[in-house]
Structure 1
Amino acid sequence: MSATTSHGRLSLNQATIKYATLSEALQVAVDAGYRSIGLWREPVQEVGLDRAVDLVADSGLRVSSLCRGGFFTVASGPERDRALDDNRRALEEAHRLGTEILVLVCGGLPAGDRDLVGARERVRDAIGALAGDAADAGVTLALEPLHPMYAADRAVINTLGQALDIAEQFPAEAVGVVVDTFHLWWDPEVIAQIARAGRERITSYQVCDWITPLPADNLLARGVPGDGHIDFGPITAAVAATGYAGDVECEIFNADVWDRPFAEVAALVADRYHALIEPHLP
């Protein structure tokens, strides 16, 4: 594989070209000039971990992150044990794939449960149970706060401050946070919380836009940067001011984007990165 252009720190998250196989996604990223790619566990598992490791090595790309672990808000019992075991497998997958970042989507309220405070406490307990495994694997658990509209079904951690309240209880090499513009742009405290996180805790920076009207499936409300309402300059500058020097992942869930040719999407994302995000990076 070879590339004729380069997009620096930009990483193409595999979700942005959701219908591509792992092999296709790697080739698209290389052909479009990317140096790194964010992977998802399901496409990796489709080909098997050993094969996935070989495909990544052959591509020459770095894996910026693996998504996702988490979904461990259930109370103690067999279901919680299975969730923790699955996260340990995810840590091993991340290690084998050569990334130091496992993104965590912590999970929403369990069925029939309305105890939001209790669910958040169980997130902390789960990370406590996994922090040692993460350190042993050389992989950081990257806790991603999600927009409050997902609190019931996807993530009871909804602000960067809440994520940091948990992460700061553990060594930075084991637990960090994800700054995702889609989930955090609305928060009046986001700039201050980014500064609080600092280089020590910001494990991943992800970008995409907030579009309206929201689709019927609000999971698919992410847009290509520049197509929505987010001002990327202040958030990107705040992240850069911490000294963060890692990848900038573009992760988009959008049915219209998914239906477009993969190469076209990869090129558009790169153009918008250079226009809207890169100018605010050192």
Structure 2
Amino acid sequence: MTALKPRAKPGPLSLNTATVREQWSLKDCIEGCARHGITGISPWRDKLAEYGIANAARHIREVGLTVTGLCRGGMFPAADAAGRQAAIEDNKRVIDDAAALNAQCLVLVVGGMPAGSRDLAGARAQVQDGIATVLEHAKAAGVPLAIEPLHPMYAADRACVNTLGQALDICDALGSGPADRHLGVAVDVYHVWWDPQLKQQIERAAKRVLAFHICDWLVPTTDLLLDRGMMGDGVIDIPAIRAMVEAVGYDGFCEVEIMSTANWWRRPADEVLKICIERHATVV
């Protein structure tokens, strides 16, 4: 079988603010993107709350950035009905925030099992029910929902949806077909690079690929959450995965999301952005 080849140049670069979260506020991130010529940004909710929705939306418009996503909604499973309802209300609020930012999608990190539970299937059912409950609110707000499957190491506490196949099963069950962009998936190479069904599931996703996140998997890795690598420093064949998403029509941003307590969060943020730009041009 002939391997897919990515386009000559990757899509434009977006900064997920997690990449410099320890160095910069959201205001700093917006100004840094403008200064370095990065045209996309994906804020996290805590930094957004610090700056304020109105301030952030105005500043982002002023410098001409595209909001490629808002991180994050989700976290649906809970031990009781009150907890599940609280998650629903929280997701409706963040959908409204995403709409105010004109975000291209709201990324859903769906949540793991409630504390003390061993019912993985039940947690996954709660996730599907939760997304179903907020989907009409998202459609009315014009905010596509992007389910982000996380690596199986997070199944218990962060995300019980761990493969693109599982995420797409939810999309299918809720009536999202291959051309429907109201509900789809975020493809984060850190979480899916290992999946032997990756190419087939990206083909199945088709137009439902709503976001493409890049970083690298280091060997050895010292922390499963906070030791992500810069593109090119690890073992992920990022151009191959980019070719897969491009083959189904994805022509959007490459969003760099690096969480790194021991390395990239310790460096000057301007240096980090310069290296992101270089690696985006050379190894993505």
After TM superposition, the score normalised by the length of structure 2 is: 0.92
Quote how far apart the aligned CAs of 1:186 are.
0.5
1:163 aligned to which of 164, 167, 177? 167
Match in the other structure for 1:184: 192
- 1:195 corresponds, among 195, 203, 212, to 203
2-side partners of 1:8 and 1:214: how far apart? 28
Q: Match of 2:68, SS?
A: strand
Q: Answer yes or no: is 1:11 the counterpart of 2:14.
A: yes
Deviation at 1:75, TM superposition (A): 4.4
Q: 2:191 corresponds to which letter in structure 1?
A: H
1:1-282 residue pairs with structure 2 within 5 A?
A: 9-19=12-22, 20-168=24-172, 169-171=174-176, 172-199=180-207, 201-215=208-222, 217-255=223-261, 256-277=263-284
Q: Which amino acid aligns with 1:184?
A: V
**TM-score, length-normalised on structure 1?**
0.92
Q: Distance in 2 between matches of 1:54 and 1:170?
A: 35
Higher mean alpha-carbon deviation, 133-142 vs 58-67, is at 58-67
Q: In 2, distance between residues paired with 1:116 and 1:243?
A: 33
> Offset at 1:8?
5.5
8 A contact 1:9–1:246 mirrored in 2: yes
What amino acid does structure 2 have at the position aligned with 1:209? D
Counterpart residue number, 1:4:
none
Contact 2:11 2:251 in 1 (8 A): no
Larger RCO of the pair (alpha carbons < 8 Å, separation 6+): 2
Distance 1:173 1:272 in 2: 29
Aligned equivalents of 2:253, 2:194: Cα separation in 1? 23
Does the 8 Å CA contact 2:76/2:111 hold for their aligned counterparts? yes
Structure 2 counterpart of 1:188, one-letter code: P
Q: Write out per-residue CA displacement over residues 104-139 of structure 1, whole angstroms, 9 at most, x where no aligned residue.
A: 000011101001111111111011001101100100
User: Following the alignment from structure 2 to structure 1, what is the Cα–Cα distance between the partners of residues 40 and 224?
Assistant: 28
* AA of the residue aligned to 1:243: G
Distance 1:102 1:149 in 2: 23
Percent of counterpart pairs with the same letter? 45
| RMSD over equivalenced CA pairs, Å | 1.2
Letter in 1 for 2:232: G
Q: After superposition, what is the alpha-carbon deviation per residue over 1:142-162, rounded to whole angstroms, capped at 9, x for unaligned?
A: 100000011111000000000
SS in 2 for 1:211: coil
Displacement after TM superposition at 1:12 (Å): 1.0
What residue is the counterpart of 1:280 in the other structure?
none
C-alpha deviation, 1:100, in angstroms: 2.7
Q: What secondary structure sits across from 1:165 in the alignment? A: helix
Q: Could you tell me which runs of 5 or more consecutive residues in structure 1 were left unpaired when the two chains were aligned.
A: 1-6, 278-282
Letter in 2 for 1:267: K
Q: What do the CA deviations read for 1:20-74 (whole angstroms, capped 9, x no partner)?
A: 1111001111111111111111111012211221221222211111000000111
Aligned residue pair count:
269
